[in-house]
């Protein structure tokens, strides 16, 4: 698994792209539909050009319940957590390497969940080669 990028002088660096967001005002039926959310995460991974290794999901009961999904991809991970009562979800998409594009996964998930509004952050988690 070579996710590094060759730099001048044959040093390598890791390319890390991290998109994470809070999604508000989502239809509770969507937030509570474990199967739909699993399919959405899988399709988002495909859209991003990432490689799914394993996906797990849990339906969380109770007043503050919802669905949690963790997908491990060759390039890193996607995590989606929902709180049905609050019409709220958090999303974390982290990819390493130049091939996968976490923004494509993010935009696909937005299209399906249709939040009324959201906040999104981006972190460049690339390493810097040390000579």
Rounded to an integer, what distance in angstroms lies between the CA atom of residue 96 and that of residue 26?
Answer: 29
* pLDDT digits 0-9 by tens, 7-66: 455 567 778 999 999 999 999 999 999 999 999 999 999 999 999 999 999 999 998 999
Active site residues: 76, 81, 96
* pLDDT digits 0-9 by tens, 58-97: 999 998 999 999 999 999 999 999 999 999 999 999 999 8
For the chain, list the strands marked E by DSSP.
4-6, 12-14, 16-24, 52-60, 66-73, 76-83, 88-96, 117-124
Q: What pTM, to 2 d.p., does this model score?
A: 0.87
* pLDDT digits 0-9 by tens, 101-119: 999 999 999 999 999 999 9
Give the strands of the sheet with 88-96, arranged side by side.
Answer: 52-60, 66-73, 76-83, 88-96, 16-24, 117-124
Residue 111: how many CB atoms within 10 A of its CB? 12
Q: Among 78, 22, 86, 39, which residue's Cα sits nearest to residue 60?
A: 86
pLDDT of 130 above 90: no
Q: Which domains does the chain have, with CATH numbers?
A: 15-123 (3.60.90.10)
């Amino acid at each position: 698994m070579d996710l590094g990028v060759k730099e001048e002088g044959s040093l390598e660096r890791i390319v890390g792209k991290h998109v994470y967001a809070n999604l508000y005002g989502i239809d509770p039926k969507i937030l509570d539909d474990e199967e739909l959310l699993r399919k959405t995460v899988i399709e988002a991974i495909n859209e991003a050009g990432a490689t799914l290794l394993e996906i797990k999901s849990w339906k969380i009961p109770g007043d503050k319940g919802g669905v949690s999904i963790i997908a491990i991809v060759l390039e890193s991970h996607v995590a989606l957590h929902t709180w049905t009562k609050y019409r709220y979800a958090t999303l974390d998409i982290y990819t390493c390497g130049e091939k996968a594009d976490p923004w494509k996964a993010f935009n696909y998930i937005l299209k399906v969940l249709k939040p009324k509004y959201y906040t999104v952050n981006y972190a460049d988690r690339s390493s810097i080669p040390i000579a």
